[in-house]
Amino acid sequence: MIQFCQRCGARATFTIPPGDTFPRHVCETCGHIHYENPRLVVGCVAEWEGRILLCRRAIEPRHGFWTLPAGFMENGETTAQGAIRETHEEAGADVLVDGPFAMINVAHINQVHLFYRGRMRSPHFSPGIESLEVCLFHPDQIPWHDLAFRSVTLCLERYLGDMATGIFGFHETNISAA
């Protein structure tokens, strides 16, 4: 919640600005509109010889649960660059991304999760500061009941489905609050 204007420091009010359809934080003094937009989470389904790289989280939320290497995109990078960076930061793995694979809209928490298909350039990996451990899992070994996020589960389900057919597509899914 924005309480003060980033331009002039005066109080901001949550209201619908003239000509808009959504409530925004608007400065009571200078009229500056402060837009808050969804955050983009980028990650990678990194594969090595038919196995998928997963990280066990060392941070909240979902400390101790498994996830794909992913995190918030940074300003000044492309989505692919962000996915590569996050895979290196969280799993110490060097990946080559093949292309976008799954986009999961998580509107109730203002996030979009975008996962790329990727190939590890070598079998070397190591946990980063946000990971307790990192492992390569055969598809039949994935710890489904210990996955951290519904978006990761949905992405992996679609990935394994495409892997079985040998034809990889692009998948878009919505996750609701319920």
What is the DSSP track for 88-102? HHHH---EEEEEEEE
Peptide bond into 23 cis (omega under 30): no
Q: What's CA 121's distance to the chain center, in Å? A: 22
b (16+ CB within 10 A) / e for 112-145: bbbbbbbebeeeebebbebbeebbbeeeeebeee
What averages of pLDDT result for each successive group of 10 residues across the chain (178 residues)? 93 93 94 92 98 98 98 97 98 98 97 98 97 98 98 98 97 93
HSE of 17 in the Cβ direction (CA atoms, 13 Å)? 13
Report pLDDT for 1.
83
Rg (CA), the chain: 19
| DSSP element (H, E) containing 152 | helix 150-165
pLDDT at 105: 98
Q: What is the separation, in whole angstroms, between the first and last Cα of the chain? A: 24
pTM summary value: 0.90
User: Where do we find the tokens 């609701």?
Assistant: 176
The CATH code of the domain at 1-36 is 2.20.70.10
Which regions of the chain does DSSP assign to beta strands (E)?
A: 12-15, 24-27, 33-34, 39-48, 51-57, 66-67, 70-72, 95-106, 111-120, 131-137, 171-174
Distances (CA, A) of 67 to 9, 14, 34, 135: 40, 36, 33, 11
pLDDT the model gives residue 146? 98
**CATH code reported for the domain at 39-174:** 3.90.79.10
Residues paired with 43 in a beta bridge: 70, 115
Parse the chain into domains and list their residue ranges.
Answer: 1-36, 39-174
